[in-house]
Amino acid sequence: MKAFAELIVELGTSTKTNEKLDALSHYFDSADDADKVWVIALFSGRRPKRVISSSFLQLWCMETANLPAWLFEECYHTVGDLGETIALLLPPPQQQLSNTSLSLIINKLVEIEKQEEAAKKEFIVNTWMQMDKDERFVFNKLLTGNFRIGVSQKTIVNALSKTVKLEPSVIAHRISGNWDPAATSFADLLGEQQQSIDYSKPYPFYLAYALQEDVSLLGDEADWQAEWKWDGIRGQLIKRNGEIFVWSRGEELMTEKFPEYHAMKELLPEGLVLDGEIIPSIESKPLPFALLQTRIGRKNITKKNLQEAPITFFSYDLLEYNGDDYREQPLYKRRELLEQIVTSMNHPALLLSPVINFSSWEQLAHIRNSSRDMGAEGIMLKRKNSTYQVGRKVGDWWKWKIDPLVIDAVMIYAQKGHGRRSNLYTDYTFAVKDGDKLVSFAKAYSGLTDKEFAEVDSFVKRNSIEKFGPVRTVKPELVFEIAFEGIAASNRHKSGVALRFPRINRWRKDKKPDEINTIEDLKKMLEVYGK
Amino acid sequence: MQLIEFTDRGLYCRTGNFYIDPWKPVDKAIITHAHSDHARFGSTSYLCHTHTGPLLKLRLGDITVQSVEWNEKVSMNNVTVSLHPAGHIIGSSQVRVEYNGEVWVISGDYKTENDGISGMFEPVNCNTFISESTFGLPIYNWKPQTEIFENMQQWIKANQQSGKASVIIAYSLGKAQRVLKCAAAVTDKLFAHGAIWNVHQALVNAGWDLPKIERVTPEMPKDKFKQAVIIAPPSADGTSWMKKFSPYSTGICSGWMQVRGNVRRRNADAGFALSDHADWNGLLSAVKATGAEKVFVTHGFQAAFSRYLNEIGIEAAEVKTEFGGEEEEQEKPSTNEEQDKEINTADDNE
């Protein structure tokens, strides 16, 4: 556990990708195989089942450290992370520090999952008292199940490729998909010969960068294919071994959530992998993301759900056909074959994401302006002879999004952030005018530079009016331009609207609070874009 | 009437007609230590410890200062005043005020661990204790200085091995001198930012025995800093002034580094939770050692600390002051222009 805790500390504080890479490859060089499997699993979002709710951890920590609940809360708001708060508050370790390995600790967690609360408490408190601060932090992260580490999959793959004799693209493929770290050995996962076949395994997604420069710098229009950029969930639709699998880009297996796709099981040819967008649509017209959300979080899907938000698949790439990997083929060839397959299937839930015909960049720019009418958030540009690469790569694929919707608003509430923003007011609530009152309509956490956050933080501290737990009401004085991707009616929000992906576009130091937008302005936007 | 009143100019003793660390100009100011949030400009006369005198002159210029030793009794209108070591920085003192058998002690800033430079904190018996609370939450529990120094020395050596300089961010008065002693044990390639060098010179002129350190000047060639240790104030962190030390690693020394989020937010390669303030247990033990019946808690986590004291049976109340080091003002945005006028700015709030 010591080595793993050190790795986490290094990854948490190193500011350069190369340092993270070195820390990881150093770890992979020296750790034992069982631990390595778990580290790969944890860093790719697979985690042991939660054995205990965090309120018990809090309780046991308070007991052990002999602290009142209000003081624990006060500390938690300052630290901004429960696992770290507990690690800092526990008394110093009393026993000889034991260095139990990561995998042993996880096995033990699996073992106590079914046991009584008292047994869990005994194990957890004893383990705490044999650990130093960093180990406790990591252990608490395992217990609370939110292991968010600022390392991209690319970095992990690159670090592994220094120890394992496999191509990075092969490693990326092997560590993706549906494998259980408790039942997989390092050799199974990354041995030169793969032991078992996982039919569900998706390919690593090829991701596009946002186009920042003038589009004409991409060169000859004829080299490029344009498509709409949809606002759904990027996904892979897989048919292998007589079964259907649907993966999201977040590497979540979503097959069960979308019965619409099951109907294709007989129809799709064996050994097929399509890349596309999981999106609700009626007569090929996409529905707002808010409707997709009604389907994602739900365990039991009702008939009404199926009617109101019928899920379809807008396919735009072909990665495997007849069991053969097509990713090295140029895009135009993959597209040709994709069109043949999808057309011949003729299934209402399986659609072809259309190619946009254009003859000049000016014309395409013009077409792009109609993105919102199409239910799209911009245009994708893909080089016609590009291969299907792994991860985010510059050069062949670009997303060319339309400008977001914007509205000027005033900040009225502030709350301290988490992680690197702990103890700093970085989470804000914004309001627009409603007559001579203010009505809150959006929360935003991002979009300012560290320096601006520090400035706003200092304003909040000097101008807070009231304190409600961690929230401060703030003198309505600072005006910000809030950008968002979509707007929908909502009866859960006071303002009657819900925004999609709101963030701070810029700080309008030039504007006074009485110059902000009104609730009527928002309602007009809802009228135009929210249907 | 309270012996010490809380006024809009600062802590005031009406009977003795003097203020302690006033934040507005007054006739007679007793100064606990030379950090700019406690030692402000404009008062007619100042009284402080002999070690604080030269630092006060460095920061406030030509002023009238009376310097006294620790435990030396001064009488003002029948009020007896004496200074006692606070262990915060060089010369830092608690102020003991006695009138008609009633004793108040004003802590200023303090730490209970002996850092080998600032003097050993002396618990002073009193009826009423006014305590700071910069780190008044139980998440703040410091490791012993020797352990932190070992970590820092290892970090410097590791940087040297990978061909990097070590830039250590520390407040110019207090932390910088501690860090200098720590770094001098592993290297003699020691450099200081101008702000730190000015304080260093004032201390050396006053007779302090400190390791040799060179001032960074614009003419110095880049290769001079290879694998060296450079000590810089927080306002220099992340500015172009640091470019010429490249390749380097940055280590920030501050009690706030106890929390990971702060290390990450400051983009530091390393954070050392080295503080000139008492941690939670230090505050508690100091309060208990005074035997005070009543405690006033100032700058820091005063609400939490005073509530806790009340719960363990020590009567306490919070007092709002204009001293820095508060939870609320721990990080001020700094600009590039500030780095050269650093010496007279409030860089002392941890």
Determine contact, residues A38/A139, Cβ cutoff 8 Å.
no
Q: Which domain holds residue B69?
A: 5-139+276-319
Residues of B in contact with A68 (CB under 8 A): 308, 311
Q: What residues in chain B have their Cβ under 8 A from chain A's Cβ atoms?
A: 137-139, 141, 258-265, 267-271, 301, 304, 307-308, 311, 327-333
Q: CA of B326: which chain A residue's CA is closest?
A: A461
DSSP lists the bridge partners of residue A398 as A209, A381
pLDDT tens digits, one per residue of A323-345: 999 999 999 999 999 999 999 98
Determine contact, residues B242/B336, Cβ cutoff 8 Å.
no
Among B148, B161, B237, B265, most A C-beta atoms within 10 A, so best to mutate, is B265
Instruction: Give A217's contacts (C-beta < 8 A, 6+ positions apart).
Output: none
CB contact under 8 A, B308 and A79: no
Determine contact, residues A23/A7, Cβ cutoff 8 Å.
yes
Indicate the number of domains in chain B.
2
Tokens read off for B92: 């830092």
Residues of A in contact with B308 (CB under 8 A): 68, 71
Return the CATH number at B260: 3.40.50.10710
Phi and psi dihedrals of A378, rounded to 5? 145, -155
CA distance B83 to B118: 14
pLDDT at A420: 65
CA distance B68 to B83: 8
| Model confidence, pTM | 0.74
Min distance B251 CA to chain A CA atoms (Å): 11
CB contact under 8 A, B138 and A67: yes
CATH architecture for residues A206-401: 2-Layer Sandwich (3.30)
CB contact under 8 A, A89 and B139: yes
CB contact under 8 A, A75 and B269: no
CA angle A200, A202, A205 (to 5 degrees): 165
pLDDT at B293: 95
Residues of B in contact with A141 (CB under 8 A): none
Residue with the larger pLDDT of the pair B242 and A466? B242
What confidence category does residue A319 fall into, taking pLDDT thresholds of 50, 70 and 90?
A: very high
CA angle B63, B68, B74 (to 5 degrees): 105
B350 inside domain: no
Q: What angle do helix axes A17-30 and A2-13 make, rounded to 10 degrees?
A: 170
CA distance B317 to B128: 11
pLDDT at A95: 67
Three-state DSSP at A435 gives coil
Q: Do B133 and B16 share a structural domain?
A: yes
pLDDT tens digits, one per residue of B286-317: 999 999 999 999 988 888 999 999 999 999 99
Q: Select from B208, B238, B272 the last residue of a domain.
A: B272
Min distance A264 CA to chain B CA atoms (Å): 48
pLDDT at A218: 93
Tokens read off for A248: 């999201």
CB contact under 8 A, B264 and A455: no
Q: Do B213 and B160 share a structural domain?
A: yes
Tokens read off for A343: 């057309």
Tokens read off for A469: 């737990």
CB contact under 8 A, A15 and B269: yes
CA distance A123 to A111: 11
Three-state DSSP at B215 gives strand
pLDDT at A411: 95
* Token pair 């809009």 in the structure block, residue: B8
Looking at the predicted structure, is the pLDDT value of residue A470 above 80?
no
Min distance A94 CA to chain B CA atoms (Å): 15
Q: What residues in chain A have their Cβ under 8 A from chain B's Cβ atoms?
A: 12-15, 65, 67-68, 70-71, 74-75, 78-81, 84-85, 88-89, 137, 418-424, 450-451, 454-455, 457-458, 461
Count of helices and strands (H, E) across chain A: 20, 23
Min distance B334 CA to chain A CA atoms (Å): 9
Q: Give the nearest partner residue to B304 out of A71, A89, A421, using CB atoms.
A: A71
Residue with the larger pLDDT of the pair A178 and A234? A234
* Token pair 């390791």 in the structure block, residue: B211
Residue B151 Cα to chain centre, angstroms? 22
Q: CA of A19: which chain B residue's CA is closest?
A: B269
What confidence category does residue A96 fall into, taking pLDDT thresholds of 50, 70 and 90?
A: low
Q: Do B131 and B25 share a structural domain?
A: yes
Average pLDDT over residues A395-409: 92
CB contact under 8 A, A75 and B327: no
Looking at the predicted structure, is the pLDDT value of residue A94 above 80?
no
CB contact under 8 A, B270 and A454: no
pLDDT at A247: 87
Residues of A in contact with B328 (CB under 8 A): 461
CB contact under 8 A, A423 and B264: no
CB contact under 8 A, B333 and A455: yes
| Strand B294-300 relative to strand B315-318, pairing | parallel
Tokens read off for A295: 């389907």
Q: CA of B264: which chain A residue's CA is closest?
A: A420
Domain boundaries of chain A, sorted by first residue: 2-144, 206-401, 405-529
Determine contact, residues B102/B93, Cβ cutoff 8 Å.
no
Q: Do B206 and B176 share a structural domain?
A: yes
B282 inside domain: yes
Determine contact, residues B131/B297, Cβ cutoff 8 Å.
yes
CA distance B124 to B115: 19
Best CA proximity match to A90, nearest among A48, A149, A53, A135: A135
pLDDT at B247: 93
Looking at the predicted structure, is the pLDDT value of residue A463 above 50?
yes
Q: Give the nearest partner residue to A13 out of B141, B268, B330, using CB atoms.
A: B268
CB contact under 8 A, B301 and A458: no
Q: CA of B303: which chain A residue's CA is closest?
A: A74
CB contact under 8 A, B264 and A451: no
pLDDT tens digits, one per residue of A406-444: 999 999 999 887 766 677 888 999 999 999 899 999 999
CA distance A78 to A417: 9
Q: Do B60 and B26 share a structural domain?
A: yes
Residues of A in contact with B320 (CB under 8 A): none
Phi and psi dihedrals of A25, rounded to 5? -70, -30
Min distance A205 CA to chain B CA atoms (Å): 30
Best CA proximity match to B325, nearest among B171, B134, B110: B134
**pLDDT beneath 70: ranges in chain B:** 324-350
Residue with the larger pLDDT of the pair A490 and A479? A479
Min distance A336 CA to chain B CA atoms (Å): 48
Q: CA of A86: which chain B residue's CA is closest?
A: B139
Best CA proximity match to A207, nearest among A223, A240, A224, A229: A229
Q: Is B217 exposed, middle or buried (0-12, 13-18, 19+ CB in 10 A)?
A: exposed
Q: Do B280 and B133 share a structural domain?
A: yes
* Token pair 């919102």 in the structure block, residue: A372
In whole numbers, what is the pLDDT of chain A averaged over residues? 88
CB contact under 8 A, B265 and A67: no
pLDDT at B344: 36
CB contact under 8 A, B259 and A14: no
Q: What is the dihedral of CA B19, B24, B28, B34, to 10 degrees?
A: 80
Lowest mean pLDDT, pick from A177-181, A240-244, A375-379, B300-304: A177-181
Q: CA of A89: which chain B residue's CA is closest?
A: B139
Radius of gyration of chain A, Cα coordinates, nearest whole angstrom: 26
C-alpha distances in Å from residue B164, one per residue of B176, B212, B223, B232, B247: 20, 21, 11, 16, 5
CB contact under 8 A, A420 and B137: no
Q: State the alpha helices, DSSP H only, in A113-167.
A: 117-128, 133-144, 153-163
* Token pair 């410097």 in the structure block, residue: B156
Three-state DSSP at A430 gives strand
CA distance A418 to B259: 11
CA distance B323 to B23: 8
B21 inside domain: yes
Query: A405-529 sits in which CATH class?
Result: mainly beta
CB contact under 8 A, A79 and B328: no
Q: What is the CATH number of domain A2-144?
A: 1.10.3260.10
B128 inside domain: yes
Q: CA of A137: which chain B residue's CA is closest?
A: B260
CB contact under 8 A, B141 and A88: yes
B64 inside domain: yes
The H or E element containing residue B154 is helix B145-161
* A27, HSE (Cβ side, Cα atoms, 13 Å): 29
DSSP lists the bridge partners of residue B191 as B214, B230
CA angle A460, A461, A465 (to 5 degrees): 75
Among A78, A86, A455, most B C-beta atoms within 10 A, so best to mutate, is A78
Determine contact, residues B131/B278, Cβ cutoff 8 Å.
no
Best CA proximity match to B251, nearest among B135, B147, B159, B140: B159
The H or E element containing residue B205 is helix B194-205
Q: Do B286 and B227 share a structural domain?
A: no
Residues of B in contact with A422 (CB under 8 A): 259-262, 265
Among B142, B248, B258, B259, most A C-beta atoms within 10 A, so best to mutate, is B259
CB contact under 8 A, A422 and B307: no
Residues of B in contact with A455 (CB under 8 A): 333
Best CA proximity match to A291, nearest among A236, A231, A234: A231
Instruction: Give A341's contacts (C-beta < 8 A, 6+ positions apart).
Output: A269, A272, A318, A321
C-alpha distances in Å from residue B29, one per residue of B16, B45, B95, B208: 11, 6, 12, 26
Determine contact, residues B31/B56, Cβ cutoff 8 Å.
yes
